[in-house]
Structure formats: C-alpha cells, structure tokens
Amino acid sequence: MGATRLESGFTDPDAPSSLMKGHLDYFYPASTSALNITGVVDGSSVSLFVKDVEHTTYLGTKVVRSPIEDTPENYVNGNLKPITTASLEE
C-alpha cells in the first residue's frame, strides 16, 4: 500500500482565481481539499494531484511548472476529474 497525492486545488472549484494560498484554505467547505478529505473519509471520490511539468529553456535550464497554477481556468467547473477511492486500492 502506498500514498496517493491528492489535489489541493481551489477554495471555490468554479473560480480560477481561488487557488489555495495556505493551509487554512484546506477547510473552506466546498474547496477541492475539503471535498478530497470528505472523499477519503466516506470512501467516495477524490481528485488526484495535477502533476508538475518539467520544461527545458533554450539555455538548457530545467524549470518545473504547475499546470494548475499556470492555467487554473482549465481545472475549474468540474475539470478536475474525480476518481473513486476504491479504484485507488486496486
């Protein structure tokens, strides 16, 4: 059994400007984090972490970027696809 990283996401999953800013944001009632906590506890569904992307600049420097931070509008309004917690145990 391993660990699965879940997305912390947004304080309001419908607002791209509401990215998590700090640890207290996790507990906003409808936040991505609160929904994930609920999903883990009640065995329903969760949103997986959106993996960072590594780019190489023209100078050869590696840069790691977060897609959810770069284009949050692509991950709101239900675009963080939930999966069942049961599927994580398979």
Dihedral of the CA atoms 85, 4, 74, 43 (nearest 10)?
20
Query: Given CA atoms 4, 54, 24, 76 in this order, what sign does their dihedral have?
Result: negative
Q: Which two tokens stand for residue 39?
A: 């999903």
Q: How confident is the model at residue 83 (pLDDT cuts 50, 70, 90)?
A: very high
Q: Is residue 34 within 8 Å of residue 26, measured between CB atoms?
A: yes
**In this predicted structure, what is the pLDDT of residue 1?**
60
Read off the pLDDT of residues 15-67 as tens digits, 9 standing for 90 and up.
999 999 988 888 899 999 999 999 999 999 999 999 999 999 999 999 999 99
